[in-house]
Amino acid sequence: MATIATCKGKDMSSNRSHGTPFQMDTSEVMRFSIDNALRYLVDPATYGEKVGLENEIAHRALKSGGATQEGGVFIPWSVLARDVRKMGLAPQRRDLVAGTPTAGGHLVGTDVVASGFVEALYPLTAVLSAGATTMTDLVGNTAVPRMIGGSTVYWVAESGAPTESQAAFDQVPLTPKTVGAYMDVSRRLLLQSSVDVLATIKRDMLSQIAVAVDEQAIIGTGTDNKPRGVLNTTGIGAIVGGANGAEPTLQHLIDLENYSQSAGYERGVGAFITSPKVRGKLQRTQRFSSTNGEALWQAVGKVDYCNGRPAYATTLVPDNLTKGSSTGVCSAILYGVWDELVIGVWGGGVTILVDPYTGSTAGTVRLVALLDMDIAIRNPVAFAVMTDVLTSDS
């Protein structure tokens, strides 16, 4: 088996001019083992018998015309979503060596309890949870058609005929942008570690990529090879707190919710995404002041709600913004119908390459993870933001 390939999954399919789009059923998604596929690439003699499903998927993807790459493992977007759970601040990329404690040495030694290994902390990714749409298996630059003008109706007299009207369309472009990371793992660390180093690093890189995608969906500028996110998209609603910002109130939340409908968008119920600082502020802010009543942000079981709408808090939302004399202390609240935000993925998912050659003289193995993706908002009026939220109680 030379290649373990990606697949399209059952997200939103794209139209392809070659082959039949490849799909995995739910059972295959659950059984797909990234760890076994990765171990096979490093040690095919030992793990060749454990990658039957992954090998079958590789051949099916090749037969369907899906993109594959020799020597790499392709991770379907649906499998990535399955594996990525808790995510947080990404540490800087560093080479891992056994001799340096903070760079891998802490994993070496007879007193390392592998079952108690503590992984890095990652911020929660909120955009996919809030309902963002994914389009996978894209080929070439892609455009999502959008109707920007509909028909006009007329009231006419008996035997009268309405005037002809013409629909208008444009396109929302998606152009691939690449996000990636790599780590070098020393031969000694691979030999001495009581923790599965390759699987641990794989999980870390996938988590970092998932966090990077979520972050750009929120704050992406559209420059420096990055996608454009909600906060920098022209046409979204802007709710203003005050000249120097303002503490959030029920009125602000209502204004965020009502912006879309006032702008003519009425296609679904939205959700709030904000920072933990704002969540804390809303949790201690009464819906109606001086009543000792319910808070603006409440948890019902394992689900959070803000003013009755689903709500998510993540450190990926900025809380160091400036408004007037409030310098570096303002936070953002985003409200939107999140399925209007499209995450386009080329090649079906993340590619992880194992490179045993670059550092071969020292026995170093390099792991490289790459994802080609872009972000687009189909209807900007489906979103509204407030970027001058103050969270102090003074």
Q: What's the pLDDT at 1?
A: 37
pLDDT tens-digit readout, 271-325: 999 999 999 999 999 888 776 678 999 988 888 999 999 999 999 999 999 999 9
Q: What's the pLDDT at 64?
A: 56
* Burial 364-373, CB ≥16 within 10 A → b, else e: bbbbbbbbbb
Query: Coil, strand or helix: which one is 197?
Result: helix
Give the predicted TM-score (pTM) of the model: 0.74
Q: What's the pLDDT at 358?
A: 85
Q: Nearest 5 degrees, angle CA 157-CA 161-CA 163?
A: 115
Low-confidence ranges of the chain (pLDDT < 70): 1-23, 41-43, 47-48, 58-74, 83-123, 146-151, 166-169, 187, 190-196, 198, 291-292, 393-394
Residue ranges with strand state E in the chain: 72-76, 133-138, 142-149, 168-174, 177-185, 237-238, 271-274, 297-300, 303-306, 309-313, 321-323, 326-336, 341-359, 364-377, 383-389
List alpha helices for 163-275, DSSP H: 187-192, 197-219, 250-262
Closest among 296, 341, 327, 319 to 387, alpha carbons compared: 319
Would you state the structure tokens that stand for residue 390, as one six-digit string?
């103050």
Q: What's the pLDDT at 118?
A: 45
**Is beta strand 364-377 parallel, antiparallel or unpaired with respect to 142-149?**
unpaired
DSSP string, 104-121: BGGGBSTT--GGGPPPPP
Kind plus residue range of the DSSP H or E element containing 34 = helix 34-42
Residues with Cβ within 8 Å of residue 166, at least 6 apart in sequence: 149, 151
Q: What's the pLDDT at 138?
A: 80
Q: What's the pLDDT at 141?
A: 82
Q: What's the pLDDT at 216?
A: 95
